[in-house]
Structures are given as structure tokens and as C-alpha cells.
Structure 1
Amino acid sequence: MSLFRAKTWWSTRVGTDEEFDTASLQVGFLETNADKANVVIGSLQGILRVLAPSGGDYTVEDLLVEQDLGEPILGLLLGRFVPAGEDLVGIAVLHPRKLAVYTLDASAGTPSLSLAYSHTFQTNSGSFTACNMTSGPFGGDPSRDHILVQSMDGRVACYEQDAHSFTRRLLNCLVPGPIVYVARTDSFVTATSTLCLESYRYQVLAGAQDDPSGPVDGGAADVPVASASSPGRRASVTQRKMVATDWSVCLGEQVIDIKIGKFTTPGATQVDVLAVGASCLFGVSESGDIKMQKKLDFDPAAMTLFDNPRGDTAHNMILTSFDDSMYIFRRQQMVWSAKLTSSPVAVFVADYEHRGMVTTLDDSGLLSVVYLGTDPAVSGAIVPEAKEIDYDDVDEEHRKLLGIIRASQSDARMEPRDKIIMRAQVPRVPEAPGALEDLDFHDHVLQKCVRQDNGMLQLTVKLFLAYTGSGSLSDVSVTLDVPECALVKEKAFSVSSLKGGTATPMIIDIVFYANAFVLPNSNEVSVQAMFLTGSGEPRASSCKFELPMFFSTRLIPPIKEPAFKFKLDTNKPPVMLATLFDDMVYVSGGEPEIENSSNYVLSFRYWVEDETQVPLNATILLSKNAGRYRVQSNYLPALWFVGNELCKRLKKYFEATGGSDFDMWYDEPHLPLQDFYNCIDEHFSARVRLNETKSLLNDCAQQFRTIEKRLLVRFKDRNAVPLQQLDVVMAETYHRLMGLADDVGNTQILLGTLSNNLSCVTSLVLILIKLKFKLDEESFRVLKAHLSPVVNDNEKVGWEEATDAAMTYLLRTVLAKKGGGEGGAVAALELQMPADTTKLKKHISIVADRLGKGAVLAGGEGGGGGGEEKGGE
């Protein structure tokens, strides 16, 4: 924080308020024969002013020149720009389409501006709109200064005083940034839109070929560049000598300003390129090495360098901020700060009647000349009115504060009073199919819906929203997390108004449509509501509900399809299947074949078909003598949903009937890992095929673009040239390109189906591992987090490599053999697509083996106590 306020030596408001409301201002200094600095100011309204500050109050004599140039002024520079005399200082004024150099003529007694020369930016192929400029003795000529103008599209035009030298196009310049000239290396440094600093040698720019679209001095016609092999024809881009950077360094921030000086290493012959960014100050060497980076705790606005008054060869720096402060740095350390009356956008140090005065200019036109004083930045502390202290009130306030502190540190969370309560009402019976004309889905979504009786299988869930606070809420955002087996028209919507208090809850109908292409891997729907309270505090509320089983399956007469099966044993007497699945039996409508056998066998049919358009089924068989249940199907992924429903309903039934000691286990000698591995291989093969097809598509697209370019060259040629069957090659390439695009789309659809199947099989294997090895809930949560049933494949990371890394982590930590674990931090693994799934399957087998030998995933000391020696590799 600034403790002192800078003292004003002289100030004035330049121009009118209307002129400087939106103006971009530039400040320069003109040294006169009286050894006093003059201030030159230009505005976007085209007004150029030259002032001579004299101290005290502003007088009319302080304004030397005020002239309307008729065009916006983008920048000002002072230097030896006039060819008539080496010691004559010229004022370079940059307009959007013109560069003009003026001199200050005081021979007639009254100072006035005289135009020395000007350059107009004109091209044949388009306009050259200027952005900024820099000057210096380009090429090492110490007797005169040249000017380099940068355009809005990344071109630079060099002017050797009254003559145009060359025009070049810089690399990687989408948006122009600050640009400066480094006299020691005879190079230019500029900031690019890629958040980098780039350096260009003057000799390299001068030796490169002219940019055909660059500006031509004086409005002359743009002359095409001719090649030696084809006189009279324009040279192609590949025939011109391209511009190359000397060095480039990435700063990672947008650069506000760049200055050149000695700052980091006093006494050295090298200079530093100082760049101030949005939050950091960078010091870069002449060769492009970052020598210094300093984090700033304020928002910088302007920067300048000035000589050290102690005679040191290093420069000092002034940074101004948008909090009306000025900071002085010496050798990377802040040595002083002062408060200003406004936030300067330009700052300079010059000598007037006194040495080292600081000149500042803000965006409203306030021009000030200040010096660093020691007046406090704020007024002294205000002494409150003296009154007698009431110790009883102090004790009472202390007790209240202690109560608030204890309440905030309590372990029990206090629910807010103003919250949204959500409740879902799910129908127990199916609805009549929805009419097709009532749906506004796209065609590709309609194809996924289950068609039934000339309509769509649908389910309407009523969502009740009630606000417990007073008043009402506006713009409540509601989002739905829907499983893949269900479709909705909108997964996010907004409630414009929700009344609170005792008002009737709002009812929102959410219509779900059954997906005919995806096996259900979950039937849980999550609803989140986000809102802002009356005080502006963000809040969120959520609720979950499950879609009924008849939304995804229906009962059919018993069938025998024991291709895949698993058995579950319980310690309780058998429960009739018609009792467990009473809702499904009721929905079936009393079909005789189902009613007669529903106690010991139930067959479920999904709305989904396999690749050969065969319906997918799952059957539950109940033993008549013991509490043993068998789930079987002709399709392995179809076992999960029905088997999971059986487990949930058994647990719920015995909890409701008082069976607190209910237990269930999987007593088969082996887990169905081989079938699980086959599913993994199918999914991985689809990923490999998709990558190969995308690579072929990319190569074919590159070939197609190459043929297009060659045909364009032939068509643009003035003399007719035979196509040499290029049109035939282009047509064949196009047909192959479209075929590969179709293959990519079909493979992506296949990969989506296999991903869903893998998710179902992974969930099935997880629940069987839990039941076989008697895992508690915390251990099962850890296992599920590492062997995740959520299959999300993208171009960078797939399920196989992520799961393999997770299994490796388990084997190196909690499942490591006693004495063989790594103990501390585990090195991060690089996730990349493997060549095959052998390593993944091996690691899953070792994890299952160590769990079977009593390893603990959570709440124990770990240690598998068995398995292969290299299982954790």
C-alpha cells in the first residue's frame, strides 16, 4: 500500500471532456534549446498539442501549439527524422493511413508546426491500417533515426526518413502487440498474440523479399515481384525469401508494454528487454533468455525507465497501476510507492526547472507533473467521541460472539432454512404410448425410441419443487442426469419463478422415452436445482429416483437360454419371484403362461436387440428347496440389470420383514473373468479400428486437398494445360473419402454399443467380486473407484489405459505384498493407448487373486500375501 502521496508541481486538464472520453492518448517529450522538456500530446480526435510546463498554476503561455491535423492520432515519436539537419528534432505522428513528420518552428516568435514529409499507406491488394510504431538508428547509422510502422494484420513497413525502404509480414502475428527497437543488437522485439516475445533482426527483415500486399510510398501502384524463370509473373510464396525470427520466448501473459534498458545486471554491457504483463514483470536478455520474473500484486497500467540519480549504470523503473498508485523499482526491488490523484495510462521522467520530474497523463486528459513527496496518502485517524465504557455490554457482546464461533465450528452441519425441497413421483404402471406427432425430437433421436402401438414407450414423472424461504425465487436452473437407457427432450431447463412459504409446490412433468439401442446399465436419475437466495448466496439442492423396471424390460413366457449364468445363495428361505417382482407380474396383464410359472421362473425381455436383431432376454430361476437363485441369459451384458434388481429386491424384502441377519454370496469356484476379458478385447478392437479408420480418413483428406490445390493452379493458369487425369483422381479420392467418413461414423456407433456392454459387464464382475470375497461397503467403494464401470472413451485417454493405471496403483499400494510395497508416493504413470490388453487382464487377475487371499482394500494394513512377484509392474 502506498503510504505517501506524490506532490503536484504543475497540472492541467487538456482538451474538453467530450474529446477525452474515449480517446487513446500518447505522450512524448521534445527537448528544446532552453534545456526544458516539452510535452507533446495527441488524441483520437486528431488534436496535437505541444506544452511547456512552467510550474504553479497553468497559464495560457504554457500551451505552445494546438493544431487539428484532421485525422486520429495513434502514436507519437520524437527523433532525428528530418533529413535537412542532424540536430533537428522531428515529431513523427502516426495516423491510421498515413505517417507524417513535423518540426517545431519558433523563428517567427510564435511556435508553429511545419510538415517535413509524409507517407501514405496504399496497396494494390488491400489497405494498410497502422497500429503502432517504433524508431531508432536502424542498420547502425548513428546520425539519423528511421521509423518502423506495424499494421493491424501483422505487417511492418520501414521508412528511412522520407523514403520507403521495405514491407515485410511477421510470423505468428494475429493481433499486433507492443514493438520496440534494440539498438545494441540492431533488432526489433514485439509481443505476439500467442503470448510470446519475438525478436527480428533488421538485416533479416531488410534482406527478405517484399510483401506484395504491403504499403507503397506516395500511393504508387503496387508492383508484382517477378521470378527469374517466369518474367512478368508474380512470385509465389515459396519463391520469396521468408522472414525468420532471431529468437522467441513464451511468457504466458498478454504484454502491456516493452522497454529496453539495463535493469537486472548493473554495469554489464548487455541490455534487458523488460516486458510488463497482466500480472508479472519479465526481464529477457538480448538472446531471448528469461533472466527475471516478478509477480506483481497490482494491475499495471504504464511503465517507463529513467537513469539512476546516483550515477549507477542501471536504470530505475516506474510502474503505475489502476488503483491510483505509482511504484518505483531499483534492481528488481520496490524502493518507493506514492499515491496519485488518478490512474495514469502514460508516464515519463524528464527535466523541467527541476531534475527528475514525473509526468503522468490519464485517460480523461489530466496532465500532471509531480515529484515524490512525503505527505501522507490518507488523512490522520479520526478520534471517536469519548464515552464511558459499559463493561456489561462488552461482556454480553463477547458472549454472543463466542456463541457464533462455537456454532460455526460445530461438527453438525446446520441445514439452511431457505432451501428447495424436491420430490419425484414415479408411476407404478406404464402409460399409454405417446403419439408420434406430439414429439419434437430430431429424426436420429426418434429412431432410438421404443415404438409400441404406433407410438413411443414413455413415462411421465412428476417433479415437485417447494421453496421453504420467504418471498420467491427467480431463474431456478434445473438439470437432469439421465441414464443412457432413457431419453428426454431437455436435460436442462429454467424455472422463471418459484414461490416460497406455504405456497403450493410447483409440479413439473418430465417425460422419459425408452431407448431401443442401449442396454440399461443404470436406472437412477439425478436432479439438481441451482438458485440464488435473496442475499445473492448460491445454493443447490438435489434428489434421486429410479425409473421402474418395466420401463426397460417386460415379462415374457419362460425360456431357456443358459449361455451365460451365475448363481446366488442366501441364508434365508426362498422368496417367490412373483412376490419380489410383483410390479412386473401386475404389468404383464395376467398372461397364463407367466402367471403359472411366476413363482419359480421369470423371463425378462429388453427393448434392445443384438447385432443379429435377436431380442435380448434374461431369466431368473428359483430353487424350490433352498434360497438359491440363478440368473441366465443368451447375452452376457444382459445379466447385469436383472441380476442387480434381484439383489436389491432381496435385500429390501428382508429388511422390511425384520431379517437383519440376511446374507447373500456368490459360491462359484471361479469368477467369469474370461468372459469379461472377451468383452474388453471387443471394446479395445473397436478403439483400434476407429483410430486406424481416422488415420486413413486424414490421409485421404490430405490427398484430396493436395489435388484441389493442383487443380486450382491449373485453372488459374492463363495458358490452358492438360489436367493429366487429375479430375478422375479427384473423383475417386472423393468417393473414398466419403466411404471412410461413413466407416468412422459406423465404428463410432459400434464403439458406443460396446462401451455400454463393457460398462454392464464391469458392474456385474464388481458385484460378483463383492459377494464372493465378502467385501464391506468401503472396500467395495475403493474397488469400484479403480475398476470403474463408467466407460468414457476420448481421443486422449481410453478405459483400458486408465483402468490399467488404477490396477497398477492398487498393486503397488494397498494390495502390495508384505514388505514389497513402495510405501511412499507412487510415481505417476503416463497414460497412452497400449498395444494390447494382455497387461491389463493380468493385473485384474492378480487383484482378484489377492482379494481372494484376504487382502483388504480399506480399513486394514494392506498386503496381499500372495500373487505373482511382478504383479505390480
Structure 2
Amino acid sequence: MSLFQTHELWRSKNTSDEECGFGCLSVANIDNSTDGSDKVIVGSYHGVVHIYSPTPDLNHAHDVLLEVDLNLPILQIEAGRFISVSSDLHLAVLHPRILAIYKISVSEGAVDHGHQYSMSKLFQHPLERTAMNMATGCFGGAHDRDYICVQSIDGSLSLFESESFIFTRFLPGFLLPGPLVFNPRTDSFVTISSANFLESYSYQVLAVATDVDKKDEKQRVSTGKKILVDWSFNLGENGVDLQVVQINDKSNVIMVLGERSIFCMDEGGGLKFMLKLDYNVACFHAYSCNGAVVTLVCTHSQQLLVYDVTKLRWAARLGEVPVQILRGNFNNTPGILVTLSDTCSARCTYLGTSPSMFMVPRSKDREVDADDLQLQISKLVPITHDITQGWEEMVEASMTSLLKMFGENVGESVLKFPENTKKLKKRIYAVIDKINKGGKI
């Protein structure tokens, strides 16, 4: 249990019974505002997109910038430069059978009515296979725009460049889809196979490989090159999430979240360090700070753990179990933690040193009347002062006084004193002797 707890800066207010999961949260300056402040973007399995601008005032009405019902389940949302003729950020929404790109526009309001936000679809790509997740980045060495790679549930990778479809490739030895990320330094995709291997595939290898329309036709195609893995690493456990972290201008690391471990890999597939976990992890987020990797880990026991490389630096109570955690810049304050629960409730929190004010309530049965207690003590003190014998005689005198006192208050008929008090005293001595010898009553 943590001594400290996180401080809630802002929370979204949801009145509907929406549900969401990992990939349904994004933090970016999606409206391309001049102040550079990030927005919280949430997509739900019910097909609703929520865009918030957090402010210190909890549940402020102006925090909700936009809510749009797309009428299709949302699997994942990402912000990026997906338009070839524009460097602005746009929103990519992945549905089971559709990949759509949206533009968030802002219209100046009149007088004190504020700004008006709208969400317009620029284009969409129909998917031949049911999608699982997607990865974005500058594929093929591009610098001014982002491409999108969609992984389907049958192991195909479909790549899209703005309005154009590029190609589809099938990963070798595929059984179940896993996490997928893109490493821009090596221009490669990193995923986790169903055999619990961390594998890296070069974009150039995928581009020149055989292009097939159907998975069962792959063995009959004689042209093109076979897809070969650049490197692989045996994790030994199921992989939950992947993330590429830029340490400096010359190196990146790949953070892998397993069921019971966290792996830090270099770009060539070598293990840099590993953390063994003795708790159930809900989600994690890694970033670089002063050339070191800082990892935020959320557990199913509502704890937030902050690791500096392999050392635990901080622990705080979250108050809920999030499905995803990110960092954002709000109101010129960088490093705000953004968490998303499975009920589509987004929170902005920060770490603090205020202790948890939770206290165990005192039972009513333990309440003691101070006046009555003082009266009992005043009656026992003279008796103990007059006794010069050992502790047995003192106990006997004290018990006799207590029995007389309670007999006067409740009556002897209620207490039912035994006629032979010697047996009672003998029993009391036996109990005391047993306690002194370390026994239990």
C-alpha cells in the first residue's frame, strides 16, 4: 500500500455506459492551436469520439470540445501528419473494416459563446480483412508526413500513404496478432509473435517481398522475395505492450511489457535490462529523462509505480485501474499524467507528497467513557497501594474489587457469582500462568 496518492487535476464526466480499451486514448494538439496545448482524445467501442481540453476547474462545461458518434466501433485512434499537402495533425480512427482520417476544425465564436469545433472526414480506406491494431510513423525514411500500417487478425500488414494504398504483406509463422510499433531510426516494425518472440521486420524487406492477394496463395507465387526477420528475442512470456523511446538523437530503445516482466531492448535486439514484477500490470508508459528511461507502471491494485531504469523512485495510489496511461502538456505544464478507465473516463493527475488521509474508523464497541474509567482507576489505586504481598495477592485483590464493583452496578443475580470463589481464583491463576508461558487462552 502506498503512503502517497496522486492528485487529480481534471476528470471527464461521462453519463453514458460506454466502454473502451487499450488504444482508445490519444494526447495531442489535434486542433493545431497556436499555444501548443494538448487535447485528450477518447474513442469508445460504441463509436463515439470525445475531445477534451482539460482545465483546472473540474467538470467545466467548456472542457468538452467535441463529441461525435461515428456509428462504428473504434479500435484505436492516433494523431499524426497523414495528409501529403499539409503538415497539420489529423486524426486516424481505426474501425474493424475501415481506416478513416478526420480533420478537427475550429471556428471563431461570436461575443462570449466560445469556439465551435467540427470533425470532418477527409478520406477513408476500406479494409479487406478485420483489423486488430495499427502503427504510425515515417516509413521508408519520410520526414514530412506519417504513414499508417494496419495489422489484421490473420497476420497481414496493410500500409497506407495518405490517400493511397501501398501494399499488403503476411508475416511468416503467424498465429495470433500482437502489439505493433514502428522504430523510425532502423525503419522497421517490431511486433511480438504468438511464440512469445520479439521480432523486427525491415520496411525495405516488406516493400520488395512478394505481394499476394490471399494468404493461401503465398506458397504458389514464384516471384518476389521471402520475408525474413531482422532479429528476434525470446521473451519467455506473453507480451502485452510495446513502445519505442528515443533516448537521444543517436539511439532508441524498445520497451516491452510482459505479464511479469519489463524488458528494455536496444535497436539490434540486445537486452539492456529487465525488471521482474511481483504484481499484475494493467498498463505502462515509458519516456526519456536526462538520457535515462523512466517507466510508469499501473497495477491492478490501483497503484502507480515510477521506475528510473531499474530503481523504484515513487509509488502512489491512483484510485482506479486504467487501461492506458500517457503524458501530456496542458496549460504550459508538461508531464501531466493522463489515464483512461474501461468506462471511458479520462483523468489528468500529477504526483504529490500529500499523504493518504484514509484512517481505519474506530468501532463503536470500543468507545470508553473517560469519567467511568477514571472512577474505576480511583477505586483500584488505594487497594494496590495497601497490598505488600506479591503479584498473586495483588491480582486477587484487584479481581475481588472488580467483582464487587460490577456486582453493585448490575446485581449479583446477573453476574451469577459461584458459591466457591476459591475455584474461580484458581482458574484465574491458571490462565495467568499459561499466558506467562507463552500459551493462548
> The TM-score by the shorter chain falls in which range?
0.7 to 0.9
Aligned to 1:152: 153
| CA pair 396-380 structure 1, distance change in 2 beyond 3 A | farther
Deviation of 1:26 after TM superposition, in Å, equals 1.1
Equivalent residues of 2:157, 2:170 under 8 A apart? yes
Equivalent residues of 1:149, 1:157 under 8 A apart? yes
Aligned to 1:663: none
Q: Take 2:244 and 2:21, find their aligned partners in 1: how far apart are those partners?
A: 27
Equivalent residues of 2:246, 2:288 under 8 A apart? no
Report the residue type matching 1:160 in the other structure: E
Pairing 1:709-720 to 2, within 5 Å after superposition: none
Q: Take 2:283 and 2:234, find their aligned partners in 1: how far apart are those partners?
A: 21
Matching of residue 259 in structure 1 with residue 243 in structure 2: yes
Equivalent residues of 2:255, 2:286 under 8 A apart? no
Aligned to 1:282: 263
Q: 2:316 aligns with which of 327, 332, 338?
A: 338
Pairing 1:417-816 to 2, within 5 Å after superposition: none
The DSSP-based 3-state class of the residue aligned with 1:181 is strand
Aligned to 1:329: 307
Aligned to 2:119: 113
Aligned to 1:78: 79
Aligned to 2:193: 192
Report the residue type matching 1:273 in the other structure: I
Q: Take 2:360 and 2:288, find their aligned partners in 1: how far apart are those partners?
A: 38
Deviation of 1:305 after TM superposition, in Å, equals 2.3
| CA pair 209-25 structure 1, distance change in 2 beyond 3 A | closer
TM-score, scaled to structure 2: 0.78
The DSSP-based 3-state class of the residue aligned with 2:46 is coil
Deviation of 1:285 after TM superposition, in Å, equals 1.3
| CA pair 174-15 structure 1, distance change in 2 beyond 3 A | farther
| CA pair 188-23 structure 1, distance change in 2 beyond 3 A | closer
| CA pair 397-203 structure 1, distance change in 2 beyond 3 A | farther
Report the residue type matching 1:361 in the other structure: L
Q: Take 1:396 and 1:361, find their aligned partners in 2: how far apart are those partners?
A: 60
Equivalent residues of 1:23, 1:45 under 8 A apart? no
Q: Take 2:176 and 2:342, find their aligned partners in 1: how far apart are those partners?
A: 23
Q: Take 1:151 and 1:254, find their aligned partners in 2: how far apart are those partners?
A: 19
Deviation of 1:315 after TM superposition, in Å, equals 3.7
- Cα-to-partner distance string for 1:583-618 (whole Å, 9 max, x where unaligned): xxxxxxxxxxxxxxxxxxxxxxxxxxxxxxxxxxxx
Aligned to 2:277: 296
- Cα-to-partner distance string for 1:186-209 (whole Å, 9 max, x where unaligned): 101001111110000010011101
Deviation of 1:160 after TM superposition, in Å, equals 1.0
Q: Take 2:432 and 2:26, find their aligned partners in 1: how far apart are those partners?
A: 64
Matching of residue 355 in structure 1 with residue 334 in structure 2: yes
Q: Take 1:326 and 1:35, find their aligned partners in 2: how far apart are those partners?
A: 27
| CA pair 60-268 structure 1, distance change in 2 beyond 3 A | closer
Report the residue type matching 2:10 in the other structure: W
Aligned to 1:236: 220
The aligned length equals: 373
Aligned to 1:694: none
Q: Take 1:59 and 1:66, find their aligned partners in 2: how far apart are those partners?
A: 15
Q: Take 2:76 and 2:62, find their aligned partners in 1: how far apart are those partners?
A: 25
Q: 1:269 aligns with which of 247, 250, 253?
A: 250
Deviation of 1:270 after TM superposition, in Å, equals 2.2
Supply the RMSD in Å over aligned alpha carbons: 2.7
The DSSP-based 3-state class of the residue aligned with 1:116 is strand
Gapped regions of structure 2 (runs ≥ 5): 109-114, 381-393, 396-427
Aligned to 1:7: 7
Q: Take 1:7 and 1:319, find their aligned partners in 2: how far apart are those partners?
A: 17
| CA pair 397-382 structure 1, distance change in 2 beyond 3 A | farther
The sequence identity of aligned pairs, in percent, is: 31
Deviation of 1:340 after TM superposition, in Å, equals 1.0
Equivalent residues of 2:244, 2:255 under 8 A apart? yes
Deviation of 1:60 after TM superposition, in Å, equals 2.1
Deviation of 1:343 after TM superposition, in Å, equals 0.5
| CA pair 240-262 structure 1, distance change in 2 beyond 3 A | closer
The DSSP-based 3-state class of the residue aligned with 1:271 is strand
The DSSP-based 3-state class of the residue aligned with 1:61 is helix
Deviation of 1:299 after TM superposition, in Å, equals 1.0
Q: Take 1:307 and 1:350, find their aligned partners in 2: how far apart are those partners?
A: 14
Aligned to 2:416: none
| CA pair 374-205 structure 1, distance change in 2 beyond 3 A | same
Deviation of 1:13 after TM superposition, in Å, equals 3.1
Equivalent residues of 2:44, 2:344 under 8 A apart? no
| CA pair 244-107 structure 1, distance change in 2 beyond 3 A | same
The DSSP-based 3-state class of the residue aligned with 1:344 is coil
| CA pair 244-23 structure 1, distance change in 2 beyond 3 A | closer
Equivalent residues of 2:210, 2:221 under 8 A apart? no
Aligned to 1:34: 35
Equivalent residues of 1:50, 1:66 under 8 A apart? yes
TM-score, scaled to structure 1: 0.41
| CA pair 192-395 structure 1, distance change in 2 beyond 3 A | farther
Report the residue type matching 1:348 in the other structure: L
| CA pair 83-324 structure 1, distance change in 2 beyond 3 A | same
Aligned to 1:722: none
Aligned to 1:247: 231
Report the residue type matching 1:150 in the other structure: Q
Higher helix fraction (1 or 2) = 1
Aligned to 1:141: 142
Higher RCO, Cα 8 Å, sep 6+ = 2
Q: Take 1:102 and 1:149, find their aligned partners in 2: how far apart are those partners?
A: 17
Aligned to 1:398: 435
The DSSP-based 3-state class of the residue aligned with 1:53 is coil
Deviation of 1:100 after TM superposition, in Å, equals 0.3
Deviation of 1:12 after TM superposition, in Å, equals 2.1
Report the residue type matching 1:110 in the other structure: Q
Equivalent residues of 1:15, 1:365 under 8 A apart? no
Matching of residue 90 in structure 1 with residue 90 in structure 2: yes
Report the residue type matching 1:29 in the other structure: V
Q: Take 2:219 and 2:319, find their aligned partners in 1: how far apart are those partners?
A: 57
| CA pair 283-25 structure 1, distance change in 2 beyond 3 A | closer
Q: Take 1:99 and 1:318, find their aligned partners in 2: how far apart are those partners?
A: 30
Q: 1:314 aligns with which of 258, 268, 292?
A: 292
Report the residue type matching 2:435 in the other structure: H
Equivalent residues of 2:22, 2:323 under 8 A apart? no
Q: Take 2:309 and 2:85, find their aligned partners in 1: how far apart are those partners?
A: 41
Deviation of 1:53 after TM superposition, in Å, equals 0.7
- Cα-to-partner distance string for 1:393-416 (whole Å, 9 max, x where unaligned): 994673696369xxxxxxxxxxxx
Deviation of 1:238 after TM superposition, in Å, equals 4.8
| CA pair 364-401 structure 1, distance change in 2 beyond 3 A | farther
Aligned to 2:170: 169
Equivalent residues of 1:281, 1:293 under 8 A apart? yes
Report the residue type matching 1:213 in the other structure: K
- Cα-to-partner distance string for 1:68-108 (whole Å, 9 max, x where unaligned): 1111000011110012312x101000000010010101136
Pairing 1:858-873 to 2, within 5 Å after superposition: none
Q: Take 1:149 and 1:161, find their aligned partners in 2: how far apart are those partners?
A: 13
Matching of residue 367 in structure 1 with residue 346 in structure 2: yes
| CA pair 397-380 structure 1, distance change in 2 beyond 3 A | farther
Report the residue type matching 1:252 in the other structure: G
Deviation of 1:344 after TM superposition, in Å, equals 0.8
Equivalent residues of 2:22, 2:324 under 8 A apart? no
Equivalent residues of 1:78, 1:92 under 8 A apart? yes
Aligned to 2:213: 212
Report the residue type matching 1:254 in the other structure: N
- Cα-to-partner distance string for 1:695-723 (whole Å, 9 max, x where unaligned): xxxxxxxxxxxxxxxxxxxxxxxxxxxxx
Deviation of 1:23 after TM superposition, in Å, equals 6.0
Q: Greater CA radius of gyration, 1 or 2?
A: 1
Pairing 1:820-835 to 2, within 5 Å after superposition: none
Q: Take 1:397 and 1:106, find their aligned partners in 2: how far apart are those partners?
A: 81
Report the residue type matching 2:243 in the other structure: K
Q: Take 2:249 and 2:328, find their aligned partners in 1: how far apart are those partners?
A: 25
Q: Take 2:318 and 2:99, find their aligned partners in 1: how far apart are those partners?
A: 34
Aligned to 1:55: 56
Aligned to 2:410: none
- Cα-to-partner distance string for 1:723-749 (whole Å, 9 max, x where unaligned): xxxxxxxxxxxxxxxxxxxxxxxxxxx
